[in-house]
Amino acid sequence: MSYRHRFTVALPSVLFILFLSAEAIHAQQPAQPARRPSPAMARITDDPTLPRVLLIGDSISIGYTVPVRELLKGKMNVHRAPTNCGPTIRGLEGIDAWLGDGRWDAIHFNWGLHDLKRIDGKHQVPLDAYEQNLRKLVARLKKTDAKLIWCSTTPVPEGTSPPRSNKDVEAYNAVAKKTVDGQGIATDDLYTFALGRLTEIQRPANVHFTPEGSKVLAEQVARAIEASLAEKRK
């Protein structure tokens, strides 16, 4: 029997042994624990006697959702869009599903942090497109007849990945403010609120906040929602 023939006959057996070895190694590895769903995304059972509030925003809003619920417990039913709402382009895709068919008394919303991040040196959503998208989103939100509360995008430190600039945060916030001004929309200036205490509440070189920092943001968000609904009832 030639060497080439012996090799051809033996190859399937070798491959089978290697397959069994790989399976055995895989079986010995500890199973990865299942990722627990975020409590921010938990389904809310409404108290029909209380106002319904919807939070729309990115991971910063996910961080303050649960403490806002705790602060407004017994006062409001606090829901949130069941995802990271990302940039305005994702908002346009998902807004109808997030709003659903129910009645909303107040909607606290923010887009910007994902729009302004840079990918290959360019903003994910350029400033002019951001303004156009936001105008469309605001027009859709106004159809709900809810009290709308625009939330400014929080500051970003140097050294974040993907790259972001705080100058861009200020520019996108300015365009968003121009977009909502004169439309009867309240402002929750979370940017200014957070700016003076970043060393206490924000992670270093990270757009996100510590758990305690998210609770501090939640206090401001809850105040803004309560003030806006009180104004609506006048």
DSSP string, the chain: --HHHHHHHHHHHHHHHHHHHHHHHHHHSPPPPPPPPPGGGPPPPP-TTS-EEEEE-SHHHHHHHHHHHHHTTTT-EEEE-SS---SHHHHHHHHHHHH-SS--SEEEE---TTTS-EETTEESS-HHHHHHHHHHHHHHHHTTTPEEEEEPPPP--TT-SS---HHHHHHHHHHHHHHHTTTT-EEE-HHHHHHTTHHHHB-TTSSSB-HHHHHHHHHHHHHHHHHHHHHHH-
pLDDT at 7: 45
Asked if 51 and 105 count as a contact pair (C-beta separation under 8 A), the reply is yes
- Find where tokens 């806002």 sit: 68
The two tokens of residue 146 are 């809810």
For residue 191, pLDDT beyond 50: yes
Q: What is the mean pLDDT of residues 74-85?
A: 98
Q: pTM surpassing 0.95?
A: no
- How far is residue 36 from each of residues 9, 40, 175, measured CA to CA in Å? 49, 11, 37
pLDDT at 6: 53
Contacts of 155 (CB under 8 A, 6+ apart): 166, 169, 191, 194, 195, 198, 202
For residue 196, pLDDT beyond 50: yes
Q: 84-118, pLDDT tens digit by residue?
A: 999 999 999 999 999 999 999 999 999 999 999 99
What percent of the chain is predicted at pLDDT more than 90?
81
pLDDT grade for 233, boundaries at 50, 70 and 90 = confident
pLDDT grade for 36, boundaries at 50, 70 and 90 = confident
Asked if 53 and 104 count as a contact pair (C-beta separation under 8 A), the reply is yes
The two tokens of residue 108 are 């606290």
What b/e string do you get for 110-143 counting C-beta neighbours within 10 Å, with b at 16 or more?
Answer: bbbbbbbbeeeeebbbeeeebbebbeebbeebee
Q: What is the mean pLDDT of residues 170-178?
A: 98
Q: What is the DSSP string of 103-165?
A: --SEEEE---TTTS-EETTEESS-HHHHHHHHHHHHHHHHTTTPEEEEEPPPP--TT-SS---
Least confident of 22-26, 62-66, 68-72: 22-26
Question: Which class would CATH give 39-233?
Answer: alpha beta
For residue 140, pLDDT beyond 90: yes
